[in-house]
Structure 1
Amino acid sequence: MSTTVPSPSAPPGHDDDGLPETFRRVPPQDRDAEQCVLGSMLLSKDKIGDVVEILSVDDLYLPAHQLVFGAILDLYGQGEPADPITVAAGLTKRGEINRVGGAAYLHTLVQAVPTAANAEHYAQIVADRAKLRRLVEAGTRIVEMGYAGDGDADEICDAAGAELHHALQMREESATVRVGDRYADYIDRLEYLQKHGAAKGVPTGLSDLDALTNGLHPGQMIVVAARPAMGKSVLALDFARACAIKHGRPAALFSLEMGEAEIMNRLTAAEARVGLHHLTSGDPSPEDWQRIARAVPRVADAPLYLDVTPNTTALEIKAKCRRLQQRGGLDLVVIDYLQLMTSGRKAENRQVEVSEMSRSLKLMAKELGLPVVVLSQLNRGPEQRADKKPMIADLRESGSIEQDADLVILLHREDAYDKESPRSGEADLIIAKHRNGPVTTITAAALLHYSMFADMASTS
Structure 2
Amino acid sequence: MSYPPDDFDGPPPAPSRPSGGLRVPPHNRDAEESVLGAMLLSVDAINVGMERLSAEDFYVPAHQAVFEAIHELYNGGQPVDAVTVADILRRRDELERIGGLGFLTTLSTAVPTAANVEYYASIVSEESVRRRLLAAGGDIGQLATSTDRDIDWIIDEAEQAVFRVAERRVGDTLQPISAFIDPTLEKIEEFGNRGGGLVGLPTGFRDLDERLSGLQPENFMVIASRPGMGKSALAMNIARNIALNDGVVAVFSLEMSQEEIIQRLICATARIDNGLLRSGRLGAEQWPRVLEAAGKMDQAPMFIDDSSYLTVTDVRAKCRRLQRRKGLDLVVVDYLQLMQGRSRENRQQEIAEISRGLKNLARELRVPIIALSQLNRALEARTDKRPQLGDLRECLTADTRIQRSDDGSTTTIGEIAREGLTNIPVYSLNDEHRLVPAVMAEAWSTGEKEVFRVTTASGRT
Q: Normalized against structure 1, the TM-score is what?
A: 0.48
Q: Normalized against structure 2, the TM-score is what?
A: 0.48
Structure with bigger gyration radius: 2
Compare relative contact order (CA 8 Å, sep 6+) and give the higher one, 1 or 2. Answer: 1
